[in-house]
Amino acid sequence: MKISFFGGAQEVTGSCFLFDSGQTKVLVDCGLFQCPRFCDVRSQEPFPFHPKEISALFVTHAHIDHTGRIPKLIKAGFSGKIFSTPPTKELAELMLSDSLGVLEKEARHHNEPLIYEERDIAAALKLWEGIDYYQKVEVGDFKIRLLDSGHVLGSAMVEFEVGGKKTVLTGDLGNPPTPLLRDPEVVRDAQVLLIESTYGNRVHENRPERKLKLERVIEDTLKAGGVLMIPAFSLERTQELLAEIDDLAESGRIPQVPIFLDSPLAIKATAVYKKYESYFKKETHRKIKSGDDLFRFPGLRFTLTTAESKQINEVPPPKIVIAGSGMSTGGRILHHERRYLSDPKSTLLMAGYQAAGSLGRILQDGASEVTIFGEKIPVRARVETLQGYSAHPDREQLLEFVSKSKDSLEKVFAIQGEPASCLFLVQRVRDYLGIPAYAPKYGDTYQI
CA quadruple 403, 408, 410, 411: dihedral sign: negative
Predicted TM-score (pTM) above 0.85: yes
Q: What topology is assigned to 207-389 in CATH? A: Rossmann fold (3.40.50)
Q: Tell me the C-alpha distance between 96 and 71, whole Å.
A: 8
pLDDT tens column, 295-353: 888 899 999 999 999 999 999 999 999 998 888 988 899 999 999 999 999 999 998 77
Q: What CATH number should be reported for the domain whose range is 2-202+391-447? A: 3.60.15.10
Q: Where in the chain is the domain with CATH 3.60.15.10?
A: 2-202+391-447
For range 413-424, the mean pLDDT:
97
Task: Please provide the distance, in angstroms rounded to a whole number, between the alpha carbons at the two ends of the chain.
Answer: 6
Burial of 203 (0-12, 13-18, 19+ CB in 10 A): exposed
For range 127-147, the mean pLDDT:
98
Specify the 3-state DSSP secondary structure of 371.
strand
Q: Among 147, 175, 81, 159, which residue's Cα sits nearest to residue 394?
A: 175
For range 86-102, the mean pLDDT:
94
Q: Among 56, 64, 55, 53, which residue's Cα sits nearest to residue 7?
A: 64
> Does residue 292 carry a pLDDT above 80?
no
For range 84-91, the mean pLDDT:
98
A 10 A CB-CB count for 337 gives: 26
Is the distance from CB of 406 to CB of 430 less than 8 angstroms?
no
pLDDT tens column, 105-114: 888 988 989 9
Q: Where in the chain is the domain with CATH 3.40.50.10890?
A: 207-389
Is the distance from CB of 418 to CB of 200 less than 8 angstroms?
no
Backbone angles phi, psi at 28, to 5 degrees: -115, 120
Is the distance from CB of 326 to CB of 237 less than 8 angstroms?
yes
Paired residues of 261 in beta bridges: 302, 322
> Does residue 101 carry a pLDDT above 90?
no
Q: Tell me the C-alpha distance between 168 and 404, whole Å.
A: 13
Q: Which amino acid type is present at position 13?
A: T
Is the distance from CB of 328 to CB of 298 less than 8 angstroms?
no
Q: Tell me the C-alpha distance between 234 and 225, whole Å.
A: 27
For range 167-193, the mean pLDDT:
94
pLDDT at 418: 94
pLDDT at 287: 79
Q: Any idea what the Cα angle at residue 401 is, between residues 437 and 397, rounded to 5°?
A: 105
Q: Tell me the C-alpha distance between 66 and 96, whole Å.
A: 11
How do strand 2-5 and strand 17-20 relate by DSSP bridges?
antiparallel
pLDDT tens column, 11-66: 999 999 999 999 999 999 999 998 777 778 889 999 999 999 999 999 999 999 99
Higher pLDDT, 235 or 144: 144
pLDDT at 205: 67
pLDDT at 127: 98
